[in-house]
Structure 1
Amino acid sequence: MKTYSSRVRYKHKRRNFEVGTRPGTISIPDDALEPKIEVYSFNEKDLQVSTGKNMETITKQIAKCTDHTHWIKINGLGDATLIEDIGKFLGINQLVLEDVVNTHQRPKFDEYEGYVFGTSRILYINKENELVNCQFSGIVKDNIVISFEESYNDYFKPVKQRLEAGKGLIRLAGPGYILYTLIDTILDNYFVLLAQLGDSIDETEDRLYQSPNKAIMFDAQHLKRTLIVVRRACWPERDKINDMIRSENPLITKDTKIYLRDAYDHCIQAMDMIESYKEVTSSIIDLYLSMVSNRMNEIMKVLTIISVIFIPLTFIAGIYGMNFSREDTHGHVIPDNMPELYAHHGYVYALVGMFVIGAIQLFIFWKKGWFNKL
């Protein structure tokens, strides 16, 4: 049976920044992917989709669909020129663009004049069995929603399918509602990840009861560390959603806030699950250590019983092993020296006496119930 720790690894990302650079500097990581752009322009009756890799894809689509809401989906942050052009086109502050490419932001919601900006953490296990923790950034302005993702993973496929189906509010409720659907999708995937972690915790706990070994402790610690990563993403996400609910910005409409309250409840539920799972993993570690300690106590108890039995026997053997002569060199009996030294069958009597003493001790230990607890 493979353990959890042998299946899942952490995909570490190094921070990309230089000390002393001016605020608003766009510094692209060396391993950043080339952008892939998808533009979804929609209204109640129509959906237009275009794809490309440069700014022209965005400007043409927006110019063509003047009475539509636009979702600009960008996967990959490897083009600083594109990021800057988008900032100029939408009038986005350089500090916001810096936060987009600096992909170690905690979830947050910021309001600016004419637009809002938010970030979230996307967590999933990729095909290489690595726990990926990447950033989602979203900007809402007028009738435009622009989202930035680090990878090519199609994380928001359900949102695309809802746009194509054209049912519900997704084409009618405005760009703020699109941002909500993206955030809600991220939260839903937290539950998928937590379900996987919950199964791994149950498996680890079953192994603890069946055949405890030190690998279980390592797996439980690995699970606990993973839960801490999820907690670091989910905790500020709750604060971000709460900020969106309290916002007076017209881009976050009253109807959208109703759905955001539901997302807030989901976030609280995910946090409760995380805390519960953390307690279980801590309990697994504590229980394993207790089992090891109890097992050590049982071993020490057995060794103590053996030692207690042999102490009087060793004492008797030690006494009769002393080299005191019964007679002196002239054949005279030396007073107060071992009278049993020349006793007939003394060796047999000594062995029988030792056996009787040992049997009496074993009987006493048995009556006390010591052997039943081994």
Structure 2
Amino acid sequence: MGTFNTRVHFKNRKSKINVGAQPGTIDIPEDALPPKIVIYSFNQNDLQTSEGTDMKTITEQIKVCNDHTHWIKINGLGDAQLIEDIGTFLGINHLVLEDVVNTHQRPKFDEYDNYVFGTSRIIFFNKNNELVNCQFSGIVKDNIVISFEESHTDYFESVKARLKAGKGLIRTAGPGYIFYALTDTILDNYFVVLSQIGDRIDATEDKLYLRPDKSIMFEAQQLKRTLIIIRRSCWPERDKINDMIRSESDLITKDVKIYLRDAYDHCIQAMDMVESYKEVTSSIIDLYLSMVSNRMNEIMKVLTIISVIFIPLTFVAGVYGMNFSRTDDHGHLLPDNMPELYTRHGYVYAIGGMILLGLIQVFIFWKKGWFNKL
């Protein structure tokens, strides 16, 4: 996979925390993008599309297509007034609007009197090999679905293509089905990301066996961190889908719940893949550390063998390096002071004995099989 040739960067926006702020405060992040609005109004026989950047685009489209179902797709949360106008137009609680602009929510599903609200985490690798973890929020009410996304990236091309084709239930099953389709697309993309991670794990594992170096540990830890981020999205997503299945709201119909059960199975499958990949990455790190330890042990063994061979030779050289005088100050012979120092060919004998001693040690180590394990 080409996207993994460089280091993976984790692209996350910092959360702005206003301690003591009033609940329901709409606080737009400084780096929030300006909104782009696309409205898809459809029924079984017709699909109308319009684009804009303000509330007028929404109201006019709904007024013209009053017998259609509307998917209002908003990319970018940089306009607080637009968010408030949508809340006023649809009668949305300010706490929900606060959750929409506070883009660090965990996946969840909430029911209200005449609408439902849900969030998910969109995770993908962008062109710069950054792991993008952004928020998707959706509100379903009557014949309207409003989706909010942080970025301008078009993430739901497949849903748009199905709407344009007009096949299946996409135009006739109601707004609850659109909300399911968006959630299912997010889950499907988890498998795309996990497939890329699986390829990278295989490449890292092959590198471990062929050319092990310290970069393997860094890559494995990086992949493990990526999997932890996905896990933090998958687990609450499972609970969210389960809440949708158990929902008593008329907006989530029985037909939609059948498809939600399939999405629930996909979420469980993604969770299993995350856990198995996490175990593999941990095993890669442990195996690399074990190989480093074994390599160090082999190096220490070689050094130990060399030291053991030269220790007795050094002892011999040290003994004969003690320069005690052969005679005293009066010329008297001192027989106990190294008589070998004055032996004819003593140097040759000493060197030969030291070589023989070294060869005997090498032979003993060889018989014990120490050299075969180096």
Shorter-chain TM-score tier:
over 0.9
CA contact 1:27–1:98 (8 Å) conserved in 2: yes
Does residue 1:306 correspond to 2:306, yes or no? yes
| TM-score, scaled to structure 1 | 0.96
Question: Shift in Å at residue 289 of structure 1?
Answer: 1.2
Q: Which residue of 1 aligns with 2:235?
A: 235
Amino acid at match of 1:293: S
Distance 1:7 1:337, change over 3 A: closer
Q: Which residue of 1 aligns with 2:221?
A: 221
Q: Partners of 1:313 and 1:30 in 2: how far apart? A: 75
| 1:150-174, Cα deviation, whole Å (9 max, x unpaired) | 1111100100110111111111111
Amino acid at match of 1:359: L
Q: Partners of 1:84 and 1:3 in 2: how far apart? A: 39
Q: Partners of 1:17 and 1:340 in 2: how far apart? A: 88
Question: Shift in Å at residue 326 of structure 1?
Answer: 3.2
Q: Which residue of 2 aligns with 1:121?
A: 121
Q: Which residue of 1 aligns with 2:102?
A: 102
Distance 1:3 1:89, change over 3 A: closer
Query: Secondary structure of the residue that 1:249 maps to in structure 2?
Result: coil
Question: Shift in Å at residue 327 of structure 1?
Answer: 3.2
Q: Which residue of 1 aligns with 2:136?
A: 136
Residue correspondences, number: 374
Question: Shift in Å at residue 179 of structure 1?
Answer: 0.5
Gaps of 5+ in 2: none
Gaps of 5+ in 1: none
Distance 1:2 1:373, change over 3 A: farther
Q: Partners of 2:120 and 2:255 in 1: how far apart? A: 22
Moved more, 108-117 or 247-256: 247-256
Does residue 1:278 correspond to 2:257, yes or no? no
Does residue 1:179 correspond to 2:179, yes or no? yes
**1:44-193 alignment runs, 5 A limit:** 44-193=44-193
Does residue 1:200 correspond to 2:192, yes or no? no
| TM-score, scaled to structure 2 | 0.96
Does residue 1:368 correspond to 2:342, yes or no? no
Q: Partners of 2:3 and 2:111 in 1: how far apart? A: 45
Amino acid at match of 1:242: N
Question: Shift in Å at residue 338 of structure 1?
Answer: 2.2
| 1:160-195, Cα deviation, whole Å (9 max, x unpaired) | 110111111111111111100000000111111111
Query: Secondary structure of the residue that 1:13 maps to in structure 2?
Result: coil
Question: Shift in Å at residue 306 of structure 1?
Answer: 0.5
Amino acid at match of 1:319: V
Q: Which residue of 2 aligns with 1:263?
A: 263
Q: Partners of 1:306 and 1:336 in 2: how far apart? A: 33
Identical pairs, percent: 78
Q: Partners of 1:100 and 1:5 in 2: how far apart? A: 35
Q: Partners of 2:142 and 2:291 in 1: how far apart? A: 62
Query: Secondary structure of the residue that 2:6 maps to in structure 1?
Result: helix
CA contact 1:187–1:266 (8 Å) conserved in 2: yes
Q: Partners of 1:259 and 1:4 in 2: how far apart? A: 34
Q: Which residue of 2 aligns with 1:315?
A: 315
Question: Shift in Å at residue 364 of structure 1?
Answer: 0.7
Q: Partners of 2:3 and 2:373 in 1: how far apart? A: 32
Q: Which residue of 2 aligns with 1:294?
A: 294
**1:307-346 alignment runs, 5 A limit:** 307-346=307-346
CA contact 1:327–1:334 (8 Å) conserved in 2: yes
Distance 1:197 1:109, change over 3 A: same
Q: Partners of 2:295 and 2:371 in 1: how far apart? A: 14
Q: Partners of 1:326 and 1:365 in 2: how far apart? A: 39
Q: Partners of 2:371 and 2:175 in 1: how far apart? A: 74
Question: Shift in Å at residue 109 of structure 1?
Answer: 0.5
CA contact 1:3–1:219 (8 Å) conserved in 2: no
Query: Secondary structure of the residue that 1:6 maps to in structure 2?
Result: coil
Q: Partners of 2:27 and 2:114 in 1: how far apart? A: 25
Q: Which residue of 2 aligns with 1:41?
A: 41
Q: Partners of 1:4 and 1:37 in 2: how far apart? A: 33
Moved more, 101-110 or 65-74: 65-74
Q: Partners of 1:279 and 1:203 in 2: how far apart? A: 16
CA contact 2:107–2:236 (8 Å) conserved in 1: yes
Amino acid at match of 1:138: G
Q: Partners of 1:221 and 1:371 in 2: how far apart? A: 36
Question: Shift in Å at residue 339 of structure 1?
Answer: 2.9
CA contact 1:105–1:135 (8 Å) conserved in 2: yes
Across the aligned residues of Structure 1 and Structure 2, the Cα RMSD in angstroms comes to 1.6
Question: Shift in Å at residue 331 of structure 1?
Answer: 4.2
